[in-house]
Chains A and B, each alone.
Chain A
Amino acid sequence: MTPNEENEIIERVLNGDRDAYAFLVDAYQSAIFNLVFRMTGSYQDADDLAQETFFRAYRNLGQFCPGKRFFTWLYTIALNLIRNHLKKQGRRMFRESQDFIKHRDGVVSETARRDPERIERNGIQTQKIDHLQICLQKLPADLREAVILRFYQDLSFVEIAAVSDASVSAVKMRVYRGIEKLKQLMGEDKM
């Protein structure tokens, strides 16, 4: 969705066309849901927090500055909710991985129907991905956040800096430290 389209929809919502907001939810639900899911590791939490993100964004839409990208603003809301949630819940370690595997399987089986050979080829890859997800949950929240935004969500360093209210150099450092720690954890777990 282009910034102009976003602004047009926001304009419509602010003028009373509440249903137009569904277009924004449709456009960003996957990104926000995945962000929350990777951060919390829980499908249920992802569902609740992603919903809450869109709900809060709707309520505060009047404060949104159209000069900025909507997704940046949405990510900021989502990250604040996630941070609060993680603080409340404390760090969760392994049970999330079960959730991931369960829902990853849904995606994999869908792909399998379309391209069975690919799944077979990627069998070992799938195990690695599960292992990665477990290790990801062991990362400190700030490093996990940086890694997820950079590599899962494919955001640029500048975008991550805008979303997480940090300097670009701090973000680069977090991403580097996060990925380094992740590699270390993955190596340790193999042993």
Chain B
Amino acid sequence: MEKFKDITDLIRNTPSVRPPGDFTRRVMGRIAGRERIRILSIKEFLTRPRRLGIGPVAAIRGSASGEECFFYFILTGFAHLTLAFVLFLGMKDLYGDVVGLGWLRVQPFIVLFLAGWFFIFGILLWRRHLAGLKAARIAIFIYLEIIVINGALPLIKFGKQLFLLPFWGLTVSCLIVGGYLALTLQRNFDRETMKIGTFKR
């Protein structure tokens, strides 16, 4: 670069151009401008920057915010809640009695419990970033354990039976979701950051 020193020096000596004096005011005016009309204020409220930016692929690479993790937890909670209702309804016969084996009967309750599990830790992630992240990591670990044990029980009792295929399908799905959440949380868990108490938003 030495042979270009004359040019690089010239560039560095170039005076910078000043933006117009009212630049900041105009930018802020543009941002605030939409609030002036009442109907647009709703749009402003809805489009106001929030921490909740969704990027599932980026999240797994480690750029998820605490609020994004909260969103994934709540979403997973709702998925479990829906599944619990489907199981509740699906296990009732024409007279409204719950049918099936003992182990099968508890499945909707397990799923319902897990839905609540996700809601609680999701809210904790949102409201108490640092403590939430630490707790959520443990919560996900416990969740995965529950799923593995619950999936292994019928295997021990019934062996490889074809009628259990949908059940194992659900088990695998839960493991994938749990694995994704665990990985997302782990990638965002920076020990150094945790020490100084500033959680990635």
Contact = CB atoms under 8 A, between A and B. Distances in A.
Interface of A: 7, 11, 13-14, 16, 18-19, 21-22, 25-26, 29-30, 33-34, 37, 43, 46-47, 50-51, 54-55, 58-63, 65-67, 100, 103-104, 106-108, 111, 122, 125, 128-129, 132-133, 147, 151-152, 154, 176, 179-180, 182-183, 186
A183 B4 contact: yes
What is the interface of chain A mostly: helix, strand, loop, or mixed? helix
A66 B7 contact: no
A1 to B, nearest CB: 14
**What are the 4 closest A-B residue pairs judged by CB atoms, nearest first?**
A63-B53, A61-B49, A33-B19, A107-B15
B57 interface: no
Given A62-B53, A67-B193, A122-B13, 6 more contacts: A14-B49, A55-B27, A59-B47, A132-B10, A151-B11, A179-B7
Given A14-B51, A19-B28, A62-B50, A29 B10 contact: no
B64 to A, nearest CB: 9
Contacts of B37: none
Contact of A151 (B8, B50, B55, B200): B8
A162 to B, nearest CB: 13
B191 interface: no
B20 interface: yes
Contacts of A154: 12
